[in-house]
């Protein structure tokens, strides 16, 4: 707990709409408490903009405790800012020093069109999940929960994958705008469980193919892992790659069969 406030200079990307020309604008953020979160700092900047009768900066956030995945922001060239394993809402201003210059940009990728200022559309990520990110079980048809034991390591690994909050930082951090980390987490969450086996190969093909409709290709830089607020492992990407080529083998048609 510090009583000293800090002064910062912000370079904020402003863009009025998806097809408008964007630009950086400079704001002085004075008297910021180190205990404020990054988004609270932006709230304060916005309040002052409103006081000055100016249009506040549009940015998105919701839960502000690092679980909903709504917040984004490229802070000084790093998705969710400099701290590892944190989303922007969990980043606190004590990470910065008095006099710092901070560049704030939206997450960028062709499939993340800017809506306004720092808000982008991440709808393509939903499209990937809709393609197969589920286990087809109709309500009411489930067997007793303890009918199928799941080895603890498998359940734990599935949970590691399922921790993904779908924020899109992996895409934003990737020089190729690839969504491999997100997609692999969403696939493996199911592929690792016994319940996910019947649709495993179909799911993998459908979700990877949909991913490739929108995002780039993985060159194994590992930037996504560094940016991921949930520290989803790169190993899931390897699992996905393996399952995908296996799926091509398993899903091949019999001779004379139509797909």
Partner 1 sequence: MTATMNSRTTSPALDSKVPDGDNATLWENHKFSMKLVNPSNKRKFTVIVVGTGLAGASAAATMAELGYKVKAFTFHDSPRRAHSIAAQGGINAAKNYPNDGDSVHRLFYDTVKGGDYRSREANVHRLAEVSVNIIDQCVAQGVPFARDYGGLLDNRSFGGAQVSRTFYARGQTGQQLLLGAYSALNRQINLGAVEMHNRKEMLDVVTKDGETAGIVTRDLLTGEVESHSAHAVVLATGGYGNIYYLSTNAMMSNVTAAWRAHRRGAFFANPCYTQIHPTCIPASADHQSKLTLMSESLRNDGRIWVPTAFDDNRLASEIPEDERDYFLERKYPAFGNLVPRDVASRNSKTVVDEGRGVGPLKNGVFLDFAEAIARDGKATIEAKYGNLFDMYANITGEDPYKRPMRIYPATHYTMGGLWVDYHLMTTIPGTYAIGEANFSDHGANRLGASALMQGLADGYFVLPYTIGDYLAGKLGEGVVPTDDPVFKAAEAEVADQTSKWLSVKGTKSPEHFHRELGKIVWERIGMARDKNGLEKAQDEIASLESEFKTNVRVKGDSSSMNTELEKVGRIADFFELAKLKARDALVREESCGGHFRVESQTEEGEALRDDENFKHVAAWEWNGEDTAQTKHEEQLEFNDVPLSQRSYK
Partner 2 sequence: MAQAMPNLRDPQPIRTRREPLPFPLNIWQSAVGRKWIMAVTGLGLLGFVLAHMIGNLHVYEGPVELHEYAEALRELGGHIIPRTVLLWVLRLGLIAMFGLHIAAAYTTKEISRRASDDANFIDGQKNYPGGRDYIAASYASRTMRWTGPIILLYLIFHLADLTWGLLPHTDYVRGDPFHNLSTSLSNLPVAIIYIVANVALAVHIFHGTWSMFQSLGLNNPRFNDARRILAAGLAGVILVGNLTFPILTQVGVIDPDDNPCEGSGSEAAALECFEAEIEKAEA
Binding-site partner at residue 170 among partner 2, partner 1, none, CB < 5 to 8 Å by type: none
DSSP 55: P
Instruction: Check: CB of residue 196 under 8 Å from CB of residue 139.
Output: no
Binding-site partner at residue 25 among partner 1, partner 2, none, CB < 5 to 8 Å by type: none
DSSP 85-152: T--GGG-BGGGS-TT-EEEEE----TTS-EEETTEE--HHHHHHHHTT-S----TT-PPPTTSS---H
- The reply to whether 139 sits near partner 1 by the rule CB under 8 A is yes
The smaller minimum CB distance to partner 1, of residues 170 and 218, is found at: 170
- The reply to whether 185 sits near partner 2 by the rule CB under 8 A is no
The smaller minimum CB distance to partner 1, of residues 76 and 83, is found at: 83
- Residues 184-223 contacting partner 1, CB under 8 A: 189-190, 193, 195-196
β-pair type (6-14, 101-105)? parallel
Instruction: Check: CB of residue 6 under 8 Å from CB of residue 93.
Output: yes
Q: Which residues bind partner 2 (CB under 8 A)?
A: 11, 13, 15, 18-22, 24, 74, 76-78, 103-106, 108-115, 121, 123-124, 127, 174-178, 208-209, 212-223, 225-227, 234-235, 237-245, 248-249, 252-253, 259
């Amino acid at each position: 707990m510090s009583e000293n406030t800090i002064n910062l200079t912000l370079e904020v990307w402003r863009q009025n709409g998806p097809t408008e020309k964007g630009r950086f604008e400079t704001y002085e953020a004075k008297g910021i408490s180190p205990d404020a979160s990054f988004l609270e700092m932006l709230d304060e900047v916005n309040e002052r903009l409103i006081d000055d009768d100016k249009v506040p900066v549009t940015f998105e956030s919701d839960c502000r405790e690092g679980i909903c995945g709504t917040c984004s922001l490229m802070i000084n060239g790093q998705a969710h800012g400099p701290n590892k394993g944190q989303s922007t809402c969990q980043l606190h201003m004590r990470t910065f020093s008095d006099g710092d210059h901070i560049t704030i940009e939206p997450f960028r990728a062709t499939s993340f069109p800017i809506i306004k200022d720092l808000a982008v559309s991440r709808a393509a990520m939903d499209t990937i999940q809709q393609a197969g990110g589920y286990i087809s079980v109709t309500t009411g048809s489930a067997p007793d929960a303890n009918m199928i034991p799941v080895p603890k390591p498998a359940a734990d690994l599935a949970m590691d994958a399922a921790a993904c909050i779908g924020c899109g930082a992996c895409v934003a951090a990737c020089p190729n705008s690839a969504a491999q980390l997100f997609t692999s987490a969403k696939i493996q969450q199911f592929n690792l469980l016994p319940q996910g086996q019947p649709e495993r190969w179909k799911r993998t093909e459908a979700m990877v193919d949909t991913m490739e409709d929108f995002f780039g290709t993985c060159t194994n830089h590992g930037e996504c892992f560094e940016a991921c607020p949930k520290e989803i492992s790169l190993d899931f990407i390897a699992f996905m790659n393996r399952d995908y080529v296996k799926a091509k083998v398993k899903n091949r048609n019999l001779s004379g069969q139509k797909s």
